[in-house]
Structure 1
Amino acid sequence: MNSRAALLALAVGAFAIGTTEFAPMGLLPVIADGVGVGIPTAGMLITAYAVGVMLGAPVMTLLMGRFGKRTALMLLMSIFVVGNLLSALAPNYGLLLSRLVTSLNHGAFFGIGAVVAASLVPKEKQAAAVATMFMGLTIANIGGVPLATWVGQQLGWRLSFAGTAALGLIAITALGFALPASAPGPRPDVRRELKAILQPPVLLAMATTVLGAGAMFTLYTYVAPVLTELTGASNTFIAISLALIGIGFTLGNGIGGRMADWSLDGATRILLAVLAVLMFVLPLAFMSHATAALGVLLFGAATFALVPPLQIRVMQAASEAPGLASSINVGAFNLGNAVGAALGGAVISSGLGYAAIPVAGGLLAASGLLLAWLGRPRTAVAEAC
C-alpha cells in the first residue's frame, strides 16, 4: 500500500466531513431566517449532529467490523452523501433529522481511519500520521467551510449542503483507488472491547476530550453572531474569520501531532492551559477587527492542537480495542460539541451577553486541565503501551 496515497484519501474524507460539520456555524443566521427559528434554536442543528456522532460512533464501528476497512470507509461516506442530500431537500426544521443521518458516519470514519493511519507508520510517528488524516478536517476550515458559508449566504444554504454531498462522492472515489481491498475482520468481541473501553484511564481520557472539545464549541458554534455583536463584523469578515480559524486548525494540528509524539500528557496539559487563558482574553480581542482576526487564528490553533494528543491518548489507553476506542473518542469530541453548543446557547438565552461565551468556554478548558492533572498518575499506562 502506498502510505502517502492512503493518508491523502483519508484526508479527503476528513475534508468532506469537516465541511459539513463546521459550515453550519457560519450559516446559523441564514438557516435560522430560512426556517423561521431563533439563533439558539438553530444552534440545535450543531447539537443534533454532535449527539448523532456520539451515539452512532460505537454502533457503526461494530457494524462495520464485518467488512474490510476500505469497504467500511466507503460505506460510511455513502451515508454521508445521503445525509447531505436530505439536508439540501429538507423543507423546514426537519433539517434536524437529516443532520442526524449525516452524523452517523462521522465517528466510525475517523475511528477506523485513525487505526488505518496509525498502522501505516512506525509507532513513534503514529500521532503525526493521525494528524495527517485530521489535516483534511483542518483544511476544510480554510477552504471548504468558508466557501460553503459564502455559497449559503449568496445562493442559499440548501446549495451549500448539495455541494458538500458532491465532496462525499469525491472522497468515495479516492478511498476506492488508494486503499487496497482487505478481508473482513473477525466478528468483534463486544464484551471484551467494552471491557477495555470501561477502564478508568480510558474513561478519564475521554472525559478530558469532552471538556476540551466543549471549550472549543462553546465559542465556535456561535462565532458568527459573536463577531457580529462584539466586532461589528460583516458577512465578508465572518467568512475571512472562518478561514483564519481553519488556518489556525491546520497549524495547531501539526503542532499537536509533534507535541503528542514528544509527550501525550505534557501536550494535553500545556495545550489545555493555553486554550483556557486565550479564551478568557478573547472578549477583549473582539473589540476591534485586527485583534479579532488574530484572536480567531490563535483560537483555531489552540483548539485543534489538542486533537492528536487526545485521540492517541485514548487509543493507547484502550490498546485492546483501539478502533472502538478511537471511534468513541470521536464521539466524545462531539459530546463536547453538544455540551459547548448548549452552553453557548444558555449563555445567550440567560442574557449574559455574547462576550460571556468565550469566558464560558475558558472555564470548560480549565476544567479539562484539572482533570488532566488528576489523571496524571494513571496516564503512565498509556505512555507505556
Structure 2
Amino acid sequence: MAVFSLMLVVFSLTTGEFVVSGILPDLAAGLGVPLSAAGLLTTAYAAGMIVGGPVVTLLTARVSRKPLIIGLVATSVLANAASAIAPGYAVLLVSRMLAGLVVATFFAVAIATAASTARPGKQASTVGKVVLGLNLGIVLGAPLGTFVGQHLGWRATFWSVAAAAALALLTVLRFVPDRPSATTGPVAGELRVFADRRVQLAIALTAVGNTGVLTVFTYLAPLLTEVGGFPPGAVPVLLLGYGAGAVLGNAVGGRLADRALLPSLAGLLATLVVVLGLAWLGGGHPVATVVSTVLLGALAFAIVPGMQTRVITAAGAAPTLAVAVNASGYQLAAAFAGWLGGQVVDSGAGLRAIYPVAAALTVAGLGIALYSLRRDRRESSAQGSLPGGRSRTS
C-alpha cells in the first residue's frame, strides 16, 4: 500500500503535466491569449521540474522522508488549486511553474523510498510499480482531464488534478512509512556523488537513451496521420495502444532489470533501435504502424525502471539527489527532443526521417550502456583478483 500510495501521487502529477496539451485551445480562448502563449504553460511546468530537481532536493536533504513527501504533495495540491482560480495568464503561468517545482524531488524521494522497502533483488520491479503511475497518467489521467475540460471548462480540469493529488495525500498519510533524511552531514557534501563516474554514466544513459524515443513520441500524432495514413479520429485509439504497450513494458522491464540490470538495458535499447528502424521502413503500412506504435510504447517504458535503479545503485549514499537530477535530465532530453524533431522536419527531410534520427540517438544510448557494463565487469574482475577478493578501496 505504501508503493500504491506513491504511485497515486505520480499519477496525479503526471496527469497535471500532460493534461495541459489536451485543453490548450480552451485555455487560449478562456484567457484571451494566442495558442503559442498558452503552449508556454507546458514549458513553465517543465522549467519548474528542471530547476526544482536539484534545488528543492538539496534544500530539503535534511528533512525526514514522510514529512517531505507530505509537503511536496500538499504544494502540488495548492499549486493546482491556484491554477484553477487564476484570474489571468500571468498568475496561471507562475502557478504552473510552482506545480512543476516539486515534481522531480517527489519522484526521486518516491523511487528511493520504494526501493528501500523492496525485498532483496526486487528493487527494479518495485520502482516499476511507482513508475506505473506515470504510464496511467499519460494513458488514463490526461484523456480524462481533457474530457473534463472540454465539458466543464479548463478550470475544472485543474480542480480535478488538485482533487486527485489530495486523495493521494490521504493514502500517503495512512500508509507510507517514515524514513530518516537523506543526509545528516553538510548539504554541499551531497554534491560529491556527481564526481562518481558510475553516477555520471547512469544520468547520461537516461538522457541520451531516452532522447530518440521522446522525439518520436513528441511527433507521434502527425507521424500516425501524415506518414501512417490514419485519419485524425484514429489517433486516440492508437495512443491507447501506445499506452497499453507502456504499461506492459514497464512491468516486464522491471522484472528483467531485477535479474540483470545493465545487460537487460542494453538488450532493450538494441531492440528499440530495431523497432525504430522497422517503423521507418514500414511507416506507410497501417498494420506495421500499429505494431510498431505498441512496441515503441512498450520499449520506451521498459527501459525506465532499470535506468532509475541504475542511478540509485550507483549513487549509494545520496540516491535522492541523483534521481532528482536524473529526472531533470529526462526533462531536458524531452525539451531537446521537441527541438530536434522540429529541426528534422524543417530541414526538408520530412516527418518520416524522425525514425532513423531517433534510432541513431538510441544507438548512442546503447553505447553508454555497453560501456558501463564493460566498466563494471572490469572493476569486478580487478576486485576479485586482489588477495581475499577485497576491493582496492577496502
TM-score by length of 1: 0.86
Q: 1:308 deviation in Å? A: 0.9
Q: 1:183 deviation in Å? A: 6.0
The one-letter code of the counterpart of 1:81 is: V
Describe the SS at the equivalent of 1:377: helix
Matched, 1:19 2:24: no
Matched, 1:36 2:28: no
Distance 1:368 1:273 in 2: 9
Residue of structure 2 aligned with 1:353, choices 319, 335, 350: 350
Q: 1:107 deviation in Å? A: 1.1
Residue of structure 1 aligned with 2:5, choices 9, 18, 28: 9
* Match of residue 222 from structure 2: 225
* Match of residue 386 from structure 2: none
Matched, 1:318 2:315: yes
* Match of residue 52 from structure 2: 56
Distance 2:375 2:162 in 1: 43
Residue of structure 2 aligned with 1:124, choices 118, 121, 125: 121
The one-letter code of the counterpart of 1:214 is: T
CA contact (8 A) 1:265 1:379 kept: no
Distance 2:273 2:90 in 1: 34
Q: 1:167 deviation in Å? A: 1.3
Taking structure 1 as reference, are residues 20 and 235 closer, same or farther at Cα in structure 2, changes over 3 Å only? farther
Q: 1:190 deviation in Å? A: 2.6
CA contact (8 A) 2:273 2:359 kept: yes
Write the mapping of 1:266-281 to structure 2, written as runs, cut at 5 A. Answer: 266-281=263-278
Describe the SS at the equivalent of 2:17: helix
Matched, 1:365 2:382: no
1:328-351 per-position Cα deviation (integer Å, ceiling 9, x unaligned): 212222221122122123334444
Write the mapping of 1:62-101 to structure 2, written as runs, cut at 5 A. Answer: 62-88=58-84, 89=86, 91-92=88-89, 96-101=93-98
Residue of structure 1 aligned with 2:105, choices 108, 112, 137: 108
CA contact (8 A) 1:340 1:361 kept: no
CA contact (8 A) 1:276 1:362 kept: yes
Mean Cα displacement is larger for which, 236-245 or 162-171? 236-245
Q: 1:374 deviation in Å? A: 2.9
Q: 1:11 deviation in Å? A: 0.8
Matched, 1:254 2:251: yes
Q: 1:90 deviation in Å? A: 7.2
Q: 1:28 deviation in Å? A: 6.1
Larger radius of gyration: 2
Taking structure 1 as reference, are residues 183 and 198 closer, same or farther at Cα in structure 2, changes over 3 Å only? closer
CA contact (8 A) 1:343 1:360 kept: no
Distance 1:227 1:94 in 2: 36
Q: 1:136 deviation in Å? A: 1.6
Aligned Cα root-mean-square deviation (Å): 3.0
The one-letter code of the counterpart of 1:36 is: P
Distance 1:262 1:185 in 2: 27
Describe the SS at the equivalent of 2:351: coil
Q: 1:54 deviation in Å? A: 2.5
Q: 1:75 deviation in Å? A: 1.4
Q: 1:232 deviation in Å? A: 5.1
Matched, 1:338 2:335: yes
Distance 2:259 2:130 in 1: 19
Taking structure 1 as reference, are residues 46 and 303 closer, same or farther at Cα in structure 2, changes over 3 Å only? farther
Matched, 1:189 2:193: no
Distance 1:382 1:20 in 2: 43
CA contact (8 A) 1:79 1:104 kept: no
The one-letter code of the counterpart of 1:365 is: T
**Structure with more contact order per residue of length (Cα contacts < 8 Å, sep ≥ 6):** 1
Mean Cα displacement is larger for which, 199-208 or 85-94? 85-94
CA contact (8 A) 1:25 1:221 kept: no
Q: 1:19 deviation in Å? A: 1.6
CA contact (8 A) 2:19 2:146 kept: yes
* Match of residue 284 from structure 2: 287
Residue of structure 1 aligned with 2:167, choices 158, 164, 170: 170
Gaps in structure 1 of 5+ consecutive residues = none
CA contact (8 A) 2:209 2:361 kept: yes
Taking structure 1 as reference, are residues 223 and 232 closer, same or farther at Cα in structure 2, changes over 3 Å only? same
1:198-222 per-position Cα deviation (integer Å, ceiling 9, x unaligned): 2122111111100122222212223
Mean Cα displacement is larger for which, 308-317 or 131-140? 131-140
Distance 1:213 1:30 in 2: 31
TM-score by length of 2: 0.84
Describe the SS at the equivalent of 1:138: helix
How many residues are matched?
379
